[in-house]
Amino acid sequence: MRKFLILLFCSLTVFCCSCAKEEQPLSGTGEDDTIVVGLSQVGAESEWRVANTESMKSTLSEENGYMLIFDDARQEQENQIRAIRMFIQQDVDYIVFSPKVETGWKSILLEAKEASIPVIVIDRYIEQQDEQLFTAFIGSDFYRQGKKAVTWLEDFLEKRGRGEEPLRIVHIQGTIGSSAQIGRTKALEEAAGRHPNWEIVAQECGDFTRAKAYEVMGAILKKTKDIDVVYCENDGEALGAIDAMEEAGLKCDPVDGVIVISFDATRLGLEYCLARKIALNVECNPLQGPYVDEIIKKLERGEPIERITYVDETCFDYKSISREIIDGREY
């Protein structure tokens, strides 16, 4: 009966509520052992996000014993809060969401806690003071990703005898306030503080999209083309920045051009790495569905879980990447 009521509520919500982003299959088994999960995805702003969503949908499927209620927040935190409240009203078994930013979740997570619904945070983190309000986190250590990037840059410059030369850096940030932006920005700013010859000549928000990065990079190039490094906080931003630089006559190449650093390691990003337009691409693994499934199944069995789980990740540079690696990628 409980699952039937949830299905009925979903049908009415999709029909009546203009904020519903995507209809869900409403032919669930109705069996008591079906696990109902409400998933609030921040949006579909990048290849990475699309791959993350597909991983969640393919894993939390009817065949695997789930009924997934999916909501696309379209990059609006208010939409995510509305969706989570809807999941609470539907009395789902679990709530999963990827927060747009770190702050502003306390009230809605308190509501979920009062309803005794476990919350699993994926991809991006939330502020530490609210840690007690979620059950588990599955995602990336973004500061560590940034450390990998700046360490690679330090080693690269040292090996080429450029360690003491002035280095002019353009920094294209992700969505301000997201944990990905905070961690990757912190690593770069710390490195710039350690190296007196490193100068961040411009720091603009690209909002994790190719179009916005193209726009802000174009504006920067009107002021200066004296650039050594462009540090982009995801592949979409890197591609947009490269588009703008090439239009302005700049060459993106780690040896005799602008050094472009990116994050995500999507298939398209790695194609640019193979072409030497991206010098380094630090992986951010979007395939988090199996990790969520494992946590839920353990909770269902009453087994202890790791509260914080960082997904497996690596990095690729223009020397290590190959066609075989790209063709073997799942995203």
Q: Which amino acid is at 302?
A: G
Residue 24: predicted pLDDT: 41
Q: Taking 60 as the threshold, does the pLDDT of residue 101 lie above it?
A: yes
128 falls in which pLDDT band (50, 70, 90)?
A: confident
Asked whether 148 and 92 are in contact (CB, 8 A), the reply is no
Arithmetic mean of pLDDT over the chain: 91
162 falls in which pLDDT band (50, 70, 90)?
A: very high
135 falls in which pLDDT band (50, 70, 90)?
A: very high
18 falls in which pLDDT band (50, 70, 90)?
A: very low
- d(CA 198, CA 261) in angstroms, rounded, equals 15
* Domains by residue range for the chain, with CATH: 2-138+287-310 (3.40.50.2300), 142-284 (3.40.50.2300)
Average pLDDT over residues 236-262: 98
Residue 131: predicted pLDDT: 83
- d(CA 309, CA 195) in angstroms, rounded, equals 33
Residue 330: predicted pLDDT: 84
331 falls in which pLDDT band (50, 70, 90)?
A: confident
DSSP string over 215-283: HHHHHHHHH----SEEEESSHHHHHHHHHHHHHTT--B-TTTSBEEEEEE--HHHHHHHHTTSSSEEEE
Q: Taking 90 as the threshold, does the pLDDT of residue 28 lie above it?
A: no
In this predicted model, what pLDDT tens digit does every residue of 196-242 receive, in sequence order?
A: 999 999 999 999 999 999 999 999 999 999 999 999 999 999 999 99
CA dist list (Å): 140 to 123, 125, 183, 206, 250:
6, 9, 10, 20, 33
Q: What percent of the chain has pLDDT over 90?
A: 86
Residue 21: predicted pLDDT: 38
Q: Taking 90 as the threshold, does the pLDDT of residue 105 lie above it?
A: yes
Residue 117: predicted pLDDT: 98
Asked whether 309 and 136 are in contact (CB, 8 A), the reply is yes
- d(CA 184, CA 254) in angstroms, rounded, equals 20
- d(CA 279, CA 256) in angstroms, rounded, equals 11
Average pLDDT over residues 161-173: 97
Residue 169: predicted pLDDT: 98
**Enclosing H/E stretch for 168:** strand 167-173
129 falls in which pLDDT band (50, 70, 90)?
A: confident
In this predicted model, what pLDDT tens digit does every residue of 44-65 receive, in sequence order?
A: 989 999 999 999 999 999 999 9
- d(CA 136, CA 134) in angstroms, rounded, equals 6
Residue 130: predicted pLDDT: 79
